[in-house]
Amino acid sequence: MKQNISQSVSFLIQLMVEKLKENKLLKYVFLLLFLSGVSVSQIYGQTVGILGNPIIDGNKCDNDGYLDPNITNGFGNVSNAKCDIGEIWYSSGVYGNSEFYFSFTRNASGQAGFAIYFDVDGNLTNGTGDGADIAIFTGLSPSGGISDKTVYSYNGTGFVPNGTSFTGELGSVTCNGTDEGFIEIAVSYDNINFNVCSGHKLRLVKIVSWTADFEQGNVIETIDFSDATFTINTSPTLSDLVVVPNGDICRGEEITFSTVLSDVDGIDDLSAFSIDIDTNYIAPYTNFEPLASAYTMSSEQIDANSWELSFTFNYPTTGTRNFAVRAMDPWDCDLDVIKFASVTIVENTNSPVISCPVTSTQDLDTDAGECSYTHSGTDWDASATDIDPCGDPTVRYELIGATSGSGTSLSGVAFNKGTTTVTWYAEDGVPEHTVTCSFDVVVSDTEDPTISCAVPSASYASDNGECSYTVPGTGLDPLSTGDNCGVATVTNDFNSQSSLSGAVFPVGTTTVKWIVTDDSGNTAECSFDVTVTDDEAPVLSGCPSNISQSNDAGECSAVV
């Protein structure tokens, strides 16, 4: 570094002698002071940041002292613009609000102007850099809205870095004189809207001979241009992959990777990073593929500078697999970060072992008032174990017969009257590994039905002219019947019918018994007496009229 400074100072002394007559001593004094560690603010009384070593971009000049003619842009050729490597602009070279400074000299009278544009990625051919023009006019008679000694920003060739501002002093300018001055450009990179990577260079590239507005011969001959190197953006970090389940994983089993994407300097927009995965990485890790439907990624922002990422998928083949998760830099700044994890996926070769505490038929009565039996407790529940490292098998039951359904525990299950077959299944994800056990639950209805008989009158008079009584309605039928599972039949022993309506009872007392039978043959009965009385008087008919006859002779009587 000291040797470079010494050589630069020696070179400047020679230039100072050559340029003394051109009144350019001040600029070389400034450069000499700067190389000696004096800041711009000490010279001009302005704040432009802490300055690093300036970069003199002499590589853009040909040996004849002119700009490389290949450095062009759509506004015109620049081959007639001279290079003056003694005049420079520079930057503090750090991330954040940086300030750039350059000076210019116009050595001809008349109207003059030039334009420059920003270039970030170094592509200076045909104006294809990431550019934003600024135009500077001097010696110009005000017309058409263009003012003399004015800096104009022209967003014509690309992007303007957010927060860019232009200030400057163009000196005393006349149409018949020369001009010297400087322009100070302050650029804030906090919200850059084009790719800027660590190590990229920001250039100010001169464009002259804007023939649409200016005479070809009246141009600003000397304008500084150079490089300022960005030192921004460290790579974000991915935490080590956490794999669930831990250890060997069975083929077809769900695998979850989780990691945290963090940005230590708080610069990167982590949500802009794209994520992909390599399911069998081999150095140099070029087998990455975008996340497809087989992979489910979820993300949750932890704080402003970190995101938690998780990936869930099933891998179809066995063996040791080397998985890699990569967060790809959206700015093409080689900030990709990769984390790796190896898992062993094994084949599930063994069936689970099922344990059924009940295998014989369970004979049970219905619960009181119910037509079913509700089991209480887990004593009928099956369990299963696996003898390979493929995780715990699942256990479930299915019910067919009088009761249907499925679940994982029989506690609280109501079994209907009749026979229900319970089948337990132990499964590990491989259909041919399923094992079962079963038993029957037989629920019987032993609860009698209920019946309530009507209360007949004390007696019923026989029908007029009849020696019997005919029941005119349903008044002698049961008042109610019921059963927990349903009534099958209701009959009486007098007419074997379900109703006494129309039944003919003889004079005298007849006992009637009602019988109710449920679906299971359980019965209940009630009875009462029906008494019929003959309260009707007899009727005499056919008697002759009165007879008057004399007694027989010699008799004190007469034969009629």
Q: Is the pLDDT reported for residue 463 higher than 90?
A: yes
What does each C-alpha distance from 125 to 77, 222, 226, 297, 331 come to in angstroms?
Answer: 11, 21, 16, 42, 21
Note whether residue 145 is domain-resident.
yes
Percentage of the residues of the chain whose pLDDT score is greater than 70 = 50
Question: What's the pLDDT at 306?
Answer: 79
**Intra-chain end-to-end CA distance of the chain, in Å:** 185
Per residue in 211-234, pLDDT (tens digit) is 323 333 333 444 444 444 444 455
pLDDT classification of 423: cutoffs 50, 70, 90: very high
Question: What's the pLDDT at 146?
Answer: 47
- Examine the domain organization and report whether 366 and 501 are in the same domain: no
pLDDT classification of 295: cutoffs 50, 70, 90: low
Domain-ending residue, one of 393, 419, 444: 444
- Examine the domain organization and report whether 335 and 396 are in the same domain: no
Residue among 505, 553, 493, 554 nearest 530 (CA) = 505
- Examine the domain organization and report whether 169 and 57 are in the same domain: yes
- Examine the domain organization and report whether 364 and 419 are in the same domain: yes
Q: Are 179 and 173 in contact (CB under 8 A)?
A: yes
> When comparing pLDDT for 321 and 157, which is higher?
321
Residue among 78, 97, 306 nearest 205 (CA) = 78
Note whether residue 236 is domain-resident.
no
Dihedral-angle region of residue 171 (phi above 0 means left; psi in -120 to 50 means alpha; beta otherwise): left
- Examine the domain organization and report whether 60 and 158 are in the same domain: yes
Number of domains in the chain: 4
Note whether residue 292 is domain-resident.
yes
- Examine the domain organization and report whether 213 and 85 are in the same domain: yes
Number of H helices, E strands in the chain: 3, 36
**Proportion of the chain in helix, strand, coil states, percent, rounded to 5:** 10, 40, 55
- Examine the domain organization and report whether 223 and 82 are in the same domain: yes
Q: Is the pLDDT reported for residue 547 higher than 70?
A: yes
Domain-ending residue, one of 444, 471, 496: 444
| CA-based max dimension of the chain | 215
Note whether residue 362 is domain-resident.
yes
- Examine the domain organization and report whether 305 and 401 are in the same domain: no
- Examine the domain organization and report whether 416 and 456 are in the same domain: no
Q: Is the pLDDT reported for residue 418 higher than 90?
A: yes
Q: Is the pLDDT reported for residue 80 higher than 70?
A: no
Question: What's the pLDDT at 324?
Answer: 76
CATH code of the domain covering residue 304: 2.60.40.10
Question: What's the pLDDT at 391?
Answer: 63
Distance CA 164, CA 89 (A): 16
Q: Is the pLDDT reported for residue 360 higher than 50?
A: yes
Note whether residue 14 is domain-resident.
no
Question: What's the pLDDT at 501?
Answer: 97
Per residue in 114-168, pLDDT (tens digit) is 555 555 544 443 334 444 445 555 444 444 444 554 555 444 444 344 444 544 4
Note whether residue 13 is domain-resident.
no
> When comparing pLDDT for 369 and 350, which is higher?
369
Note whether residue 521 is domain-resident.
yes
Between 85-89, 246-250, 467-471, 499-503, the lowest mean confidence (pLDDT) is in 85-89
Per residue in 162-211, pLDDT (tens digit) is 444 544 444 433 333 444 444 455 444 444 444 555 555 545 444 443 33
Domain-ending residue, one of 414, 444, 474: 444
Note whether residue 540 is domain-resident.
no
Residue span of the structural domain in which 464 resides = 450-533
Per residue in 41-71, pLDDT (tens digit) is 222 222 222 222 323 333 333 333 333 333 3
Mean pLDDT in residue range 399-412: 97
Per residue in 241-259, pLDDT (tens digit) is 888 877 777 777 778 888 8
Between 5-19, 234-248, 417-431, the lowest mean confidence (pLDDT) is in 5-19
